[in-house]
Structure 1
Amino acid sequence: MVSSTDPLARLPEATAFTVVSTTITDGSALPREQFSHLCGGKDISPHLSWSGAPEGTRSYAVTVHDPDAPTGSGFWHWAVADIPATVTELPEGAGDDTGSGLPEGAFQLPNDTRAARFTGAAPPAGHGPHRYFVVVHALDVEAIGVPADATPALLGLTMAPHTLGRAVLIATARTPPASGDAERIEVSRVVPAPADAVFAVLTDPKGHVEIDASGTLMDAEGQPVQRPGDRFLVHMDRAALGDVPLGRYQVEVVITELIPNREIAWTVEGPARSHARHVYGYRLEPAEGGTLVTSYYDWSQVGPEWRRRLSFPVVPESALKATLGVLARTVRRRTAA
């Protein structure tokens, strides 16, 4: 599951400047060409153009890092050092095997595949969306002084005291679960509304009641959620379904992931001492005509005790599809109000 941690947060402060791209859009999914050839992509580095670097900039470096890779240290996809201060643009495909689009003097360091080139995205199937931090670093030295076979991590450590500014784009990529995945369900639908309107419903406890298609959520108490760890109370009545003899009861919804206007996920804690730890969530991506909303239900982390007590999935795929329909209607009604 993707983390909301900002990998740049603990780096020394630096002046922000601007980077844009004709290849990728900040906050949006990577095009297929920027995926790895192992995932049907082409390993083509993105076009980048930057402006507004701080006074005193004498060179640039460019890095692409996935902090969500399941390695404990993320995954470095590209690192370019010693880009002259007079250069403010790299063409698409500059990061090929020969660095054909790089300016004289610049060089590519081996990435985490140990290839001195750009390697495209390849998030594990079913692991959810990964973030790709594309960063242009403005430095106060003409040459950073790391060997050509250095790691991107060593480059980052060496750059830290020389960094005047950073320009950042963040794109995303995901690989859907493999066909037949028995422990996760995903369904998608385009909701004709901007992501913030959809997210306003999903972060509102009352919104969860409004979009419930099962008829089991009676009411909710609590403030709109803002971060992982936030909680709210939901009053349930499962008697109408006749599947589990629970009747009326209360649960706490505990937010596990929250990336504003992009993703929200939660688990449910009931009166039992141990909790099932199945996860519900929504992922939002820009789409033609509105927002592509993907609803998912993941029970892969449920322990054997709960697997003996309940039959998973407790929420069928048909219920997720129905809820997306109700969500679209709810967003439309709220927007019109």
Structure 2
Amino acid sequence: MASFTVTSASVADGAAWSPEQLAGKDVSPQLSWSGAPRGTKSYAVTVYDPDAPTGSGFWHWAVADIPAAVTELPEGAGDDAGSGLPEGAIQVPNDARLARFLGAAPPAGHGVHRYFVVVHALDVESLGVPADCTPAFLGFTMASHVLGRAVLVATSETPGPERIEVSRLVPASADAIFAVLSDPQGHVDIDASGMLIDAEGDPVERAGDRFVVHMDREALGDVPLGKYDVEVVITTLVPGEEIAWTVEGRIRPHARHIYGYRLEPAEGGTLVTSYYDWSEVSEEWKNRITFPVVPESSLKATLGILERTVRRRGDSPTR
């Protein structure tokens, strides 16, 4: 079918929606169109998100029976009253069952969503659909009447949390657990990745302390880094309560992602919370690799190994 042109003062094609078009403000975009096919007798306007995790996308706005003489909708036309719509046009309920424009609100951490803003040129003056029909029914009804479409794509993304936390009750004292976490060799003992081969250094006592860990990336078989050393730099240390660190390797600048543990007394032992935080990682590093580099499953596995290590150290006469 024929294509024609739609533009918007609210958003450029391929760009992110402005705050006005996000959920909470819910201001419909300004739209202007031109070049519709000969024989156009009315227009419909729809805004659809195919990336919504529903199995069928999400319709944010649907307007039918816009007269052929109209080639523009002002920003905010799609409010509850349809105050900016021309006479005769109707808004059918969106997928939230609201007869208005509903702003973008992708789930946090779900990535970039696309919003297809489409002006449909139709060969009838009215589609005759019920005012309370669904956008899908509207689409079905107008499918055989479309002469052309003008398409503009906007985007939106809601950043997810840049931190993972998992917890486990370990049947041991906080001091016994902390003794493992503050010992460089303890880091090797509880490693769930298979990359940590050995460590050198004294048990850490304060923020700023460092020790060396010998790594072997070949254990994962993903990145051809081979064997190399990194320095573990303690960023937080409260004896018996919390320890956190970052890793400094050969590549500059350092990534500055943080690994840590919080310890809280609990019935039956100590509640240990392992966390991984990449909120301070620079854009340069985020462009190099995908964060998080440590999945939640690895944190859970390490907590299990930590419990086993604490138990074995308690049973060993040399520890």
What range is the shorter-chain TM-score in?
0.5 to 0.7
Report what 1:212 is aligned to: none
Gaps of 5+ in 2: 167-215, 232-285, 305-319
CA–CA distance in 2 between the matches of 1:92 and 1:146? 25
Q: 2:228 aligns with which of 217, 228, 240?
A: 240
Q: Which structure has the greater CA radius of gyration?
A: 2
Report what 1:162 is aligned to: 145
SS of match in other structure, 2:76: coil
* Counterpart residue identity of residue 56, structure 2: S
Is 1:15 the equivalent of 2:2? Answer: yes
Q: 1:147 aligns with which of 102, 113, 130?
A: 130
* Deviation for aligned residue 1:177: 1.1
TM-score by length of 1: 0.54
Distance 1:177 1:98, change over 3 A: same
Is 1:62 the equivalent of 2:45? Answer: yes
CA–CA distance in 2 between the matches of 1:179 and 1:305? 16
Is 1:29 the equivalent of 2:9? Answer: no
Distance 1:131 1:294, change over 3 A: farther
Distance 1:135 1:241, change over 3 A: farther
CA–CA distance in 2 between the matches of 1:169 and 1:16? 12
Structure 2 counterparts to residues 209-288 of structure 1, below 5 A: 236-241=224-229
Is 1:108 the equivalent of 2:91? Answer: yes
Structure 2 counterparts to residues 110-149 of structure 1, below 5 A: 110-149=93-132
Contact 2:165 2:296 (8 Å CA) reproduced: no
Report what 1:269 is aligned to: none
* Counterpart residue identity of residue 228, structure 2: A
* Deviation for aligned residue 1:237: 2.3
* Deviation for aligned residue 1:84: 0.3
Gaps of 5+ in 1: 1-13, 184-215, 218-232, 244-291, 312-337
Is 1:92 the equivalent of 2:75? Answer: yes
Report what 1:254 is aligned to: none
Distance 1:130 1:181, change over 3 A: farther
CA–CA distance in 2 between the matches of 1:293 and 1:47? 34
Report what 1:52 is aligned to: 35
* Deviation for aligned residue 1:296: 3.8
Distance 1:70 1:135, change over 3 A: same
* Deviation for aligned residue 1:137: 0.3
CA–CA distance in 1 between the matches of 2:91 and 2:80? 9
Distance 1:293 1:103, change over 3 A: farther
Query: Alpha carbon RMSD of aligned pairs, Å?
Result: 3.2
Identity of aligned residues (%): 62
Large movers: runs of 4+ above 6 Å: 292-295
SS of match in other structure, 1:22: coil
Distance 1:234 1:299, change over 3 A: closer
Distance 1:143 1:241, change over 3 A: farther
* Deviation for aligned residue 1:159: 0.9
Distance 1:133 1:181, change over 3 A: farther
Report what 1:72 is aligned to: 55
Report what 2:291 is aligned to: 297
Report what 1:83 is aligned to: 66
Q: Deviations over 1:116-144 (max 9, x none)?
A: 00000011111111100000000001001
